[in-house]
């Protein structure tokens, strides 16, 4: 932490808009405990390390699932396909039965995971870090699925997009 008195010349809206210019994929983080299933849409997913195999995502401290996710012994990070914007929308709405009529299964790590996805990283917790108004989760990948040539769902400037490869 720096003690320098930073001269911040932007507000939260401007910061959010600027961050939205970074195009991302969309993932749904899923876990299960004695209270049942939980799932949260995230676009903060990122690769961290190959050895050991680590990935990360950030969870807002306001999430109703945060406490349960911090205590989870395993979780899955499901990378959505381009036609799965409805799944992204559904797992971003608190207070609903997010898993109703969704094809899912229990993976080898014991975490629930979506069927029919672009890729899936099953993780055990590696670390949780303070990330301001978010908690940074770092997971150690213990199982992965990455098959097929279908395209991922993208998120850019607050809207869903599809990939249009640049011609060679
Ligand atoms: C495209 C998209 C990306 C999101 N990314 C994140 C994220 O990275 N971190 C986060 O905390 N919430 C993110 N959210 C919001 C959460 O999905 C939403 O607040 C959450 O599902 C509420 O879960 P709860 O039932 O645990 O409160 C995102 C929402 C959308 C639509």
Structural domain includes residue 95? yes
Domain count, the chain: 1
- Asked whether residue 161 is assigned to any structural domain, the reply reads no
How far, in Å, CA of 144 to CA of 62, rounded?
A: 29
Q: What's the gap in Å between 42 CA and the centre of ligand 1? A: 5
- Going residue by residue through the chain (168 aa), what tens digit of pLDDT does each one get? 555 667 889 999 999 999 999 999 999 999 999 999 999 999 999 999 999 999 999 999 999 999 999 999 999 999 999 999 999 999 999 888 999 999 999 999 999 999 999 999 999 999 999 999 999 999 999 999 999 889 999 999 999 999 988 888
Q: Which amino acids bring their CB within 6 angstroms of ligand 1?
A: 26, 40-44, 57-60, 63-65, 88, 91-92, 94, 155
In the chain the first and final C-alpha atoms are separated, in Å, by 45
On whether the CB atoms of residues 40 and 91 are closer than 8 A, the answer is yes
Residue 6 lies in a domain: no
Residue 140 lies in a domain: yes
Question: Would you say the pTM of this structure is higher than 0.75?
Answer: yes
Question: What are residue 97's DSSP bridge partners?
Answer: none
Q: How far is the CA of 5 from the centre of ligand 1 (A)?
A: 31
- Ligand 1 atom at minimal distance to the Cα of residue 65: 26
């Amino acid at each position: 932490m720096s003690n320098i008195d930073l001269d911040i010349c932007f507000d939260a809206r401007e910061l959010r808009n600027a961050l939205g210019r970074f195009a991302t994929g969309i993932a749904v983080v899923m876990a299960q405990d004695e209270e049942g299933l939980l799932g949260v849409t995230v676009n903060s997913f990122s690769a961290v390390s190959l050895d050991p195999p680590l990935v990360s995502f950030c969870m807002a401290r306001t999430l109703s699932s945060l406490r349960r996710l911090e205590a989870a012994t395993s979780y899955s990070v499901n990378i959505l396909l381009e036609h799965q914007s409805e799944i992204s929308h559904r797992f971003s709405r608190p207070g609903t039965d997010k898993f109703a009529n969704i094809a899912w299964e229990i993976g080898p790590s014991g975490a629930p995971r979506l069927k029919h996805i672009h890729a899936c990283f099953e993780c055990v917790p590696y670390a949780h870090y303070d990330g301001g108004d978010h908690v940074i989760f770092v997971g150690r990948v213990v199982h992965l699925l990455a098959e097929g040539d279908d395209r991922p769902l993208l998120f850019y400037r607050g809207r869903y997009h599809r990939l249009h490869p640049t011609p060679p």
